[in-house]
Chain A
Amino acid sequence: MMARVRTNSPSGDDKHWMAVELRRVTRVAALLGGVPVTISMVLGAWLIHDPYRDAVPTSVQNVGTCHRFASVEEYYNTADLRPPVPCTEPHQTETMSVGTLTGPLAQRGDRPGLEALNLMRNGLCQDETAIRKYLGAAPRDEHGFLQIVVRFPAPGEWRAGLRRYRCELMATEPVNGAAPVLKEPLRNAFRRPYGGWFRRCAAGARPVPCARSHDAEFVNAWLPVPSDVDIEVWAATACAPYVVEYLGRPVPGEYRVSATPVAGKPAPTAACQLADTSGASWTGARAGTAAESNR
């Protein structure tokens, strides 16, 4: 059995013991500190992409910029920092207007939570005049099959003081199971054949874009219907001025003025239409402003 002699000053054995302990502690500390940090860094870089690497600031995405995405998560996203794409290429959204947030929530230094932003979103981008102006719609052009998407600044942009929001237009109909696609710019689309995809027509009782086969075209005139009248008889007189304005000329003989009841209104309401006298279908709009007539 070994005996150990202790003195007040460290002996050679004690110095040796301390050196060994020091080396051991250093080794363990290096393992605990260095190795995990190195592994974390390597793993982190290997595992996770930096999502902000290709981000484009909200501030440079102006009216008329177009954006492409593929997933539902991006559709629901609060901010969209994807690089814009040319609007002549297939895309999902197009910035129609921009605005500045005001009110108590906008005063906060950090961006409010998702639910608060959703609440804020409800009051934004609802300016019908601005939408119609962007689409190049004449007073009697009725638009549809479009939805509004509101984009807010990213958290970092918000903290930096940006309060700019974007109002974007997006198609509503998925294409073969993929996200709805815009193939051309929406700016002044109603002055081009492409606008037919966003002009409201009807095939029977079903609303369809005028670019598809339809048997009636809406003329953006919703009128209160007196009680106890035959709606067709009433429409022939009440809707005629609107249909004439829509066509930009008198109603040709093969067409008739019609109306269809609108549900969900407090008072009985009907939407004026242009329909075929024989009930036949056609593709493309008859509107005077439209360039897609191809009957």
Chain B
Amino acid sequence: MNRVRRIAERHPLRVAAGVGVACAVGMIVRLLLPTPVGLADQGDGHRLLCQLGLRADIPWDASPNAFVRFTWLNYQFVGETCGANGTGQPYFSSELLLLRIASWLTGAFGLPGGLDLRVLGVVCAVIAGIAVGWLVAELRGPVLGRAAVGLATAAVLADPGFADYFVSAYSEPASFLGVLLLCPALVRLFRERQPTWPTLLVTAVVAAFVLTSKTQMISLLPGLLLALLLRPGPGADLVAEGDSRSTRLRAAARRRAVAVLLATGLVWLSVAYLAAQPKRFSEANMYSQVFLTILPNSPDPTDDLRWFGLDPQLASGSGKPISAVGSAAMLPAYTGFTEQVTFGKVAMFYLSHPGRLPHLGFAGLAGAADFRPPATYLANRPAGPGQQPNAAEHRLETATGLFALYAAAPGLLALHWLVATIVFAVAAYRRSPIGRTGCVVMAALFCQFWAVLLSEGMADLIKHMVVVDLLTALTVPLGIALWIGRRRPMPGHTTSQLAVRTG
């Protein structure tokens, strides 16, 4: 054992690469053998893949979510058939990049159709391996301990609640991989005393990838901006002793010029991304917020409708989904709903009705804790002889075990978040890069949690909370990393952030 440890300590990068390769191969095996698994499409996949000229290879009268369909056929959609929920409004996501690569590889491997989702699974597994290997390389502490952190991260990702998304037509894989890549990028950003150009740029690129994966991922922006802006950037040379205050300020500004510009770029990108999102999504989200979240839990639904400037007759649509029979969207009084109800107005509603927030928060907590309910409506297995529809798979249920505990007592999940926040905050105060990374993760988690509740609300809550669940699960390997790295202070912890220019 000691010999292994000595060899590992001599070749930390090889160990990191080995862990990354093991993670990638393990993920491929986990997804494809003995039988391939994935996640069935409940209809959202079409809006993404149709833009690549692909359609699901599914029988006309078959339920789309009863089985996983790996093959997507080349097909040219025309007009508004392609886009957000039959509106023709384009749906942008960085997931398109992964899907295009997988589509190209599907052809290169000679597989039938325009895209085989199993190829996407392999692409995602490779990127996950790179992220885990990179994380191991960025950590400090005993090499075997770092490897253990990498394997723990891989184990989290291998849970069916996360891994099955890699073989699916959803945009979550880009969110998951983006979050995963952010961890080593942030550790490096926080570890360097003066982050270099490449570090800042790579962090910004990964941030851009994750922010544009899904609309709700914009909620990660505040944490990422703080991460970029709190670190002094390159060109930090150099303040002479006795220099005036203005000179010092100018030097400080120069040190953060790159970070400010990158942060501005991320803000610009986020605003542009939000502006480019389909209007139909906003309408559907606001409908869910009002008719599936606020009104069903309201003591006086008509009063709430009046608060929003809506016709009280719409109260009959309370609890009914937008496309269901009896939906408020089918009433004449619904006209003007999209102009009256905006995200800002919903936020104002909760601010003026603070008593509603605890109930919403508890419901969100329960939704996040549920993670992977036993009876799923989205199948994990492909059609085959004797295969039951809507069948779930149960390989490597690592996070599922933890969340089963939280589902039984959602308060424990809140306790998990509280403990993680305190631990990471204390570590961050002590200038630990892992602690600071953990703080960004927790900020992202809380912003994501409330972004889901204030946008889609209670509609399909368990699925929408999956990124919150991933961030929660990632606190475990980050916590281990904090523990194994606690004995070795990082360079520059005790030195001043202002370097002294020497002549």
B78 adjacent to A52 (CB under 8 Å): yes
Q: How far is the CB of B69 from chain A (nearest CB, A)?
A: 12
Contact size class for B? 35 or more
A112 CB to closest chain B CB (Å) equals: 8
Compute how far the CA of A114 lies from the CA of B280 in the bound complex, rounded to whole angstroms.
9
Q: A49-B52, A51-B88, A178-B60 are in contact. Are A73 and B329 (CB under 8 A)?
A: no
**Once the chains bind, are A46 and B100 in contact (CB under 8 Å)?**
yes
Most chain-B Cβ atoms within 10 A of its Cβ — which of A2, A49, A108, A116?
Answer: A49
Contacts of A51 in B (CB 8 A): 50-51, 77-83, 88
Q: Which residues of B contact A69 (CB under 8 A)?
A: 81
Q: B86 and A177: CB pair below 8 A? A: no
Whether A154 and B330, one on each chain, are in contact in the complex, defined by CB atoms closer than 8 angstroms, is no
- Complex-state Cα separation, A160 to B62, whole angstroms: 38
Query: Could you say which residues of chain A place their CB within 8 Å of the CB of B206?
Result: none
**7 A-B pairs with least C-beta separation:** A81-B79, A115-B329, A177-B59, A174-B60, A2-B503, A1-B503, A51-B82
Q: Which residues of B contact A112 (CB under 8 A)?
A: 335
Given A32-B264, A47-B100, A51-B81: A114 in contact with B87 (beta carbons within 8 A): yes
Q: Which residues of A have CB within 8 Å of B351?
A: none
A208 to B64, CA, bound (A): 27
Q: Mark A13-47, 1 if CB is under 8 A from B, else 0.
A: 00000000100110011011000100000010011
B75 touches A70 (CB 8 A): yes
Pair B80/A154 contact, Cβ less than 8 Å: yes
Q: Is A54 an interface residue (CB 8 A)?
A: yes
Which of chain A's residues 47-95 have a Cβ closer than 8 Å to chain B? 47-49, 51-52, 54-56, 69-74, 76-83
Least Cβ–Cβ distance between A164 and chain B, in angstroms: 15
B 79-103 to A, binary, CB cutoff 8 A, 1 in contact else 0: 1111101111010100011001000
Contact present for A71 and B56 (CB under 8 Å): yes
Interface string of B28-72 (1 = CB under 8 A from A): 000000000000000000100011110110111110100000000
CB-CB under 8 A for A71 and B55, given A28-B257, A79-B80, A113-B283: yes
18 contacts between A and B (CB under 8 A): A1-B241, A1-B501, A2-B501, A47-B52, A51-B81, A71-B81, A72-B64, A73-B86, A74-B81, A77-B81, A78-B80, A82-B78, A83-B78, A114-B86, A115-B323, A115-B330, A118-B330, A119-B330
Q: How large is the interface on A (under 10, 10 to 19, 20 to 34, 35 or more residues)?
A: 35 or more
Report A-chain residues with C-beta under 8 Å of the C-beta of B334.
Answer: 113, 115-116
Bitwise interface map of B from 231 to 260 toward A, beta carbon under 8 Å scored 1, else 0: 000010000110100000000001001100
B262 sits at the interface (CB 8 A): yes
Q: Is B265 an interface residue (CB 8 A)?
A: yes
Residues of A within 8 A of B332 (CB): 104
A196, CB-defined interface residue at 8 Å: no
- What is the CB-to-nearest-CB distance from A92 to chain B, in angstroms, rounded to a whole number? 10
Write the nearest CB–CB distance from B269 to chain A, whole angstroms. 7
Q: Is B261 an interface residue (CB 8 A)?
A: yes
Inter-chain contact A47/B79, CB cutoff 8 Å: no
B269, A36: Cβ atoms closer than 8 Å: yes
Contact of A72 among B60, B201, B254 (CB under 8 A): B60
A179 within 8 A of B: yes
Complex Cα gap A177–B55 (Å): 15
